Chain A
Amino acid sequence: QQQVKQSPQSLIVQKGGISIINCAYENTAFDYFPWYQQFPGKGPALLIAIRPDVSEKKEGRFTISFNKSAKQFSLHIMDSQPGDSATYFCAATRTDSWGKLQFGAGTQVVVTP
């Protein structure tokens, strides 16, 4: 059973556009929410992460929005570039439980030129 639900499954966006990926969780004990970027045949790379005590975190073109009451968080990729084409996974974990990551199902993002 997927503890973190991620949508959409795939996304096509034009170069310069905004990619938005959404995730929802049920376990209120989760207190660390990272996003990973994975290219085919490569390992997931930690992109950006957020804790529940902040509602938004921005790093370059990547922004996480967090809604604690709704138990939802999202990744926004601004000014999407063809090099952003990858699979993005949201994840969640409890920082007091050895950090075992629960991943969402992943979103395949394709940025067209």
Chain B
Amino acid sequence: AAGVIQSPRHLIKEKRETATLKCYPIPRHDTVYWYQQGPGQDPQFLISFYEKMQSDKGSIPDRFSAQQFSDYHSELNMSSLELGDSALYFCASAKSRDNSYEQYFGPGTRLTVT
């Protein structure tokens, strides 16, 4: 079965640079979530989209922005990167608003900021 695709899988950036993470949800899933997982920590919710509109927002820094496109893929843009942004970033998708709680996670993007 098709799964959530994330790219790139690994990314190394320097402080103050910009990064763009991409997420391709499971086919026919229209809801996308972004989570950040620090080393040895649980995933923390950042932001979510339903039908290309932002549906909820968590503890996402103002330096980060995200959007969902017409093909339902989503991009997380991170600017002015800080060392503390180093983490695993997961995208999860859900089938619809009514099933938004049943989320399937991608393999993640490991971002390292040096």
Distance A89 CA – B110 CA, assembled complex (angstroms) = 19
Does chain A have a CB within 8 A of B24?
no
Does chain B have a CB within 8 A of A42?
yes
Q: Are A43 and B107 in contact (CB under 8 A)?
A: yes
Known: A44-B43, A89-B42, A104-B42. Is A99-B101 also a contact (CB below 8 A)? yes
**Neighbour of A100 across the interface among B56, B90, B107, CB < 8 A:** B56
Interface centre among A34, A41, A104 (most CB of B within 10 A): A41
Q: Are A105 and B42 in contact (CB under 8 A)?
A: yes
Closest A residue, CB atoms, query B43: A103
Known: A42-B107, A43-B106, A105-B42. Is A99-B90 also a contact (CB below 8 A)? no
A interface residues, tally (CB under 8 Å) = 24
Distance A94 CA – B100 CA, assembled complex (angstroms) = 10
Closest B residue, CB atoms, query A90: B42
Across-interface contacts of A101 in B (CB, < 8 A): 33, 35, 43, 45, 101, 103
Does chain B have a CB within 8 A of A67?
no
In the complex, 6 of the A-B residue pairs with CB atoms within 8 angstroms, ordered by the A residue number, are A95-B100, A99-B33, A99-B102, A101-B33, A101-B103, A106-B41
